[in-house]
Amino acid sequence: MIKITVDFKDAKKFDQLIRYIENNAVYEQAQTSMIALGHKTAENMKDIINSSRKRPSTGTNKLERSIESTTTLGISHGGFLGMKDMNTFEVGIGEIAKMTREAPYWEVLDVGGYVPPANFGFFGNGEPPKTGASGQAWVHTAKDSYLPSFYMKPKSPIQGIDYVGKSLKKLREDLDEEVKRLGAKFIEGMGK
């Protein structure tokens, strides 16, 4: 956590600093950078999911499509260090309600621990169907299906890939670099 304490005894100097921050191009660059970092983090999550695949993609990619970056701009009322109004923006990655609706297994894939129920089906493309081949896609069939089926009863829980944690770690690294870069520009501008 980064904590900055500012102690101003002169209200006029404090007001000048606030005006400098609001009128400084670094403020707009910071907003643009945060939005770009949000999109980069969403793409990073998708890449982690794709690179962790144990079976071929069926082409739906529901989870990857459900992850997006959104930005909310607004005005915060109530004061911040004596200010009456302050422009704010938030960048969010992955809206839980949307992910749950479009890919309800998102949390299982992230943290693991779920043992799927027993069902009928086969691995591969069905020519010939296989009882359990590593790296093959599972085709779910019904017990009474005309397709040849095998009863599968999973015993091992799904292993989570921690795509959220890995993405947050990368975001923190990227954010630290961006804060250093923008902080240097901000301080450089104060000397002028």
CA trace torsion 100, 104, 107, 109 (10° rounding): -140
Same domain, 111 and 135: no
Give the mean pLDDT of 133-144.
Answer: 74
3 located within any domain: no
Same domain, 104 and 134: no
Helix (H, G, I), strand (E, B) or coil at 176: helix
Percent of the chain clearing pLDDT 90 (strictly above): 26
Across 10-14, 56-60, 101-105, least confident range: 10-14
Same domain, 22 and 56: yes
- Indicate the pLDDT class of residue 134, thresholds 50, 70 and 90: low
28 located within any domain: yes
Residues 6+ apart with CB under 8 A from 28: none
CA dist 81 and 7 (Å) reads 10
* Angular region, 112: left φ>0, alpha ψ -120 to 50, beta rest: left
In terms of residue numbers, what domain contains 121? 116-155
Q: Does the pLDDT at position 163 exceed 80?
A: yes
What is the predicted pLDDT for the residue at 89? Answer: 61
Same domain, 147 and 177: no
Beta-bridged to residue 151, according to DSSP, are 120
What is the predicted pLDDT for the residue at 32? Answer: 84
Number of domains, the chain: 2
CA dist 184 and 182 (Å) reads 5
Same domain, 97 and 173: yes
Same domain, 129 and 92: no
57 located within any domain: yes
Same domain, 94 and 184: yes
Same domain, 141 and 78: no
Q: Does the pLDDT at position 74 exceed 50?
A: yes
Same domain, 168 and 120: no
4 located within any domain: no
Same domain, 62 and 138: no
102 located within any domain: yes
Q: Does the pLDDT at position 10 exceed 70?
A: no
Residue 128 preceded by cis peptide, ω within 30: yes
Same domain, 124 and 103: no
6 located within any domain: no
DSSP 8-state secondary structure symbol assigned to residue 128: S
44 located within any domain: yes
What is the predicted pLDDT for the residue at 120? Answer: 87
pTM of the model: 0.69
Same domain, 144 and 62: no
5 located within any domain: no
Beta-bridged to residue 73, according to DSSP, are 89
